[in-house]
Every structure is written in structure tokens, then in C-alpha cells.
Amino acid sequence: NAGVMQNPRHLVRRRGQEARLRCSPMKGHSHVYWYRQLPEEGLKFMVYLQKENIIDESGMPKERFSAEFPKEGPSILRIQQVVRGDSAAYFCASSPPGQAPWLAGGPTSDTQYFGPGTRLTVL
């Protein structure tokens, strides 16, 4: 969905460098999800944030990965000391406030809007 912005769209890093991925949710959305998509695999949930809070980080690797969603500004996914295995497409999605936005609306009511992704390549 064009409303969710991610930048950069492509990012190249050498092993050991840091990668910072940004996600600007749709206007009025206060929930952000981050996903990782490895080649020829589905999306894997990483972390779910609300403004200034990490709600669920059960999908985040224990080391080198962190995420934040400050009161002002975009959500940031940070990967320290990148390795080749971090090469993937990273997607964020935003949803409006509410405990269960997934359950809102009819069968085609989209409650989670995906950005175009950032493709990280680690050399």
C-alpha cells in the first residue's frame, strides 16, 4: 500500500556494518509490525510495536537486532554487525489503533497495510 513508506528500498552493507531500516506508517496508524522474507520463503514475523512500546518481539533474533517506534518519527529496525545471512527483504506493516484490528471489517477489509519493503544485501 502506497501509504506505508519504507526507506531505503535497497541497502547494501558489508559484513560487520550496521543496517538501519525505516518505516513510516500510514497516517493515524499507531501499530507497526516488522517481517523478514528470506529468498523463496514466506514472511516471518519479527516484532510488533506500538508508539514507544515493544508489544511482542518473539520473532526477533536474540542478538544484533533491535527495533523502536518513537513518539515522533518512523519506526527503525536496526541490525548491528550484519552477516550474509541477514540478506533478505524486510517489510513493515502498519495498522490502526485498537486491540484487535485484524478482526475489524468484512472479508476484504484490509487492517494491516504493507510497505514495499527494503531489500538488504550483505556483501
Partner 1 sequence: AQSVTQPDIHITVSEGASLELRCNYSYGATPYLFWYVQSPGQGLQLLLKYFSGDTLVQGIKGFEAEFKRSQSSFNLRKPSVHWSDAAEYFCAVVRASGGSYIPTFGRGTSLIVHP
Cα 6 from chain centre: 9
Binding flag, residue 39, partner 1 (CB under 8 A)? no
Give the position of cell 513510516. 24
Binding track, positions 59-98, relative to partner 1; x by CB under 8 A: x-------------------------------x-x-----
Cα–Cα distance list, 106 to 29, 102, 110, 111, 113 (Å)? 19, 10, 9, 10, 15
Q: Closer to partner 1 by CB, 17 or 43: give it.
A: 43
Tally Cβ neighbours within 10 Å of residue 91: 21
Euclidean distance between CA atoms 42 and 63, whole angstroms: 22
- Single out the residue of 17, 43, 51, 76 in contact with partner 1 (rule: CB under 8 A): 43
- Single out the residue of 61, 73, 110, 123 in contact with partner 1 (rule: CB under 8 A): 110
Which residues bind to partner 1, rule: CB under 8 A? Answer: 1, 4, 35, 40-45, 48, 55-56, 58-59, 91, 93, 99-103, 107-110, 112, 114-117
